[in-house]
Structure 1
Amino acid sequence: MPFDHNDHYHRLLVRQLPRGCRTALDVGCGTGRFARRLAGLGVAVDAIDPSAEVIAAARAADGGANPQYRQADIREAELPCRRYEFISCLASLHHVPFETVTVLREALAPGGVLVVLGCYPERSRLDWAWSLAAVPVNAAARLAVWAAERLRRAPAAAAEAEAVQAPVRPPTMTLAEIRQAAAELLPGAKVRRLLFWRYLLVYRADGPVL
C-alpha cells in the first residue's frame, strides 16, 4: 500500500526551515518529492542523488527549473562552502559513512540548519518496544492512504516517477552510536527517536543566516 514513512515526516522537516530560508540542498533526493515541496515554498533547491535512474524520474515528474537535479555522490561532490541555509537528508545518510555530515556542515551558511531523517537497526529492548508500538499505527496509516489514493489519480509523470525505486541499504549504526557520533561531529545537534523506525537529527550552524 502507498504509505511512505519518509513522506509522513515532510511537515516535521519543513518546520525546521530557518526563517526566510532561500537556499537548500536535498541529499539523496530520490524521485524529488521533498525537494519539490521545498521549491513550492519559494526555496531555491539543489537536489542530488547517486542514482541516474531516480534523477531522471525526478526531472520527468517536475519539468521546471527548480529544483535543480544533479546525479552525484555526496562523498565526491564538490559543495560550495557556507552556501546553503537548509540541508536535508531523508533516509540517505546510512548509505554513506556518518562522517559525511562534516561535508554537509561545511556547506551550511551561518545559522543554517541540517536535518537528517535517518534509519537505525533494532538492537535494544527499547528499539523493539517502539517497533511494536509502530506496527498497528503503520497498518492503519497504510489503509487510510490506500483509501485516499483510490479516490484520486496522480498525474502520469508523477505516477511514473513513483514507480521508480531508489536503492535500499539496511542501516548499521545503532541510535546510541548515532547520538555519540553526532555529539562529536555536530556539537549541539539534537537527536530524537521517531515512530515508524526513524530518528530526527537537527543541527544549526553558528551565526545568523546571511
Structure 2
Amino acid sequence: MPKDHPFADRWNHNTQQYPRVAELIADCPLVLDVGCGEGTLARHLADLGHQVVGIDPDPDVLPTDGESTHFMIGDVTGLPFADASFDAVVSVMVLHQTRLELALVEMRRVLRPGGLLVDIGYARNKGLGEKLRSAADIPQNLIAKIGTTSWEPDTIKMDALLGWAETREAIQGILPGATWQRLPGWRYLSVWRNN
C-alpha cells in the first residue's frame, strides 16, 4: 500500500479497499452504506461529495450525523427505505454476518435503476484450492502493511460459514450478471449494476 493511501494511518484489510469502493461509485450521488459500523467509509465517501446514509444494527458504534452523512440503527435484512431509493449500495464485511440471500434482495430492492451495488467481503477456506489461494495473500499482505498503522474498530466480527465458491454462487444467484473477484488481503469484490 502506498504511504499516501488515505487510510495509511488506519489500515486494515477493509480500509485498504475503501478507495476502490469510492472509485466504483464515483457517479452515484446518494449512497447507502449497510453495516456502516463506526462510519469510516461513510465519512470518506461524504468527503468525496456523496450524500451517505449509514445503517448498522449496533447502536454502540454508530457515530453522530455529519453535514453529508446520516446514521441510523437498522438491519440489512429489513431495510427501512422505499424501493429504488439509492444510487449506490455498498457493504463491507456484512454478508457473512447475516442471512446473505435476504440481505442481497433488500439491497437490490432499494437500488435505483442503473444503480450500483458494491460488496466487499470474505469467506471460509474450504478445500485445498481455497486454502492455497488464501496462503498466496500472505506475502502481499506483509508488503501492503509497510508504512501503515494497523487499526481495528470496535465492531461486531463473525467468522464466515460459506466458502469462497459458495459465496460467489450465492451472490450471482441473487444478482445475475454480478462480477466477482478475489482481492488481496483475504477479500472479494462483487459489483452489480441494476439494469
Structure 1 length-normalised TM: 0.82
* Cα distance between partner residues in 2 of 1:67 and 1:40: 10
**Corresponding residue for residue 186 of structure 2:** 197
Structure 2 stretches lacking a partner, 5+ long: 1-8
Are 2:43 and 1:36 equivalent residues in the alignment?
yes
Match of 1:9, SS state, is helix
Structure 2 letter corresponding to 1:105: R
Are 2:25 and 1:17 equivalent residues in the alignment?
yes
**Corresponding residue for residue 164 of structure 2:** 175
Q: How does 1:119-198 map to 2 (within 5 A)?
A: 119-146=122-149, 164-198=153-187
| Root-mean-square deviation over aligned CA pairs | 1.9
**Cα shift at 1:164:** 4.7
Q: Cα distance 1:205–1:18, how it changes in 2: closer, same or farther (>3 A)?
A: farther
- Give deviations 1:180-199, integer Å, cap 9, x for gaps: 22222101111111111111
Are 2:121 and 1:114 equivalent residues in the alignment?
no
Larger Rg: 1 or 2? Answer: 1
Q: Cα distance 1:82–1:49, how it changes in 2: closer, same or farther (>3 A)?
A: same
Q: Cα distance 1:163–1:179, how it changes in 2: closer, same or farther (>3 A)?
A: closer
Structure 2 length-normalised TM: 0.88
Structure 1 letter corresponding to 2:56: D
Q: Which runs of 4+ in 1 moved over 4 A?
A: none
Of Structure 1 and Structure 2, which has the larger fraction of its residues in helix?
A: 1
Aligned length: 186
The 10-residue stretch of structure 1 (10-19 or 29-38) with the greater mean CA deviation from structure 2: 10-19
Match of 1:48, SS state, is strand
Q: How does 1:37-116 map to 2 (within 5 A)?
A: 37-55=44-62, 58-59=63-64, 64-99=66-101, 100-116=103-119
Match of 1:52, SS state, is coil
**Corresponding residue for residue 6 of structure 2:** none
Q: Percentage identity across aligned positions?
A: 30
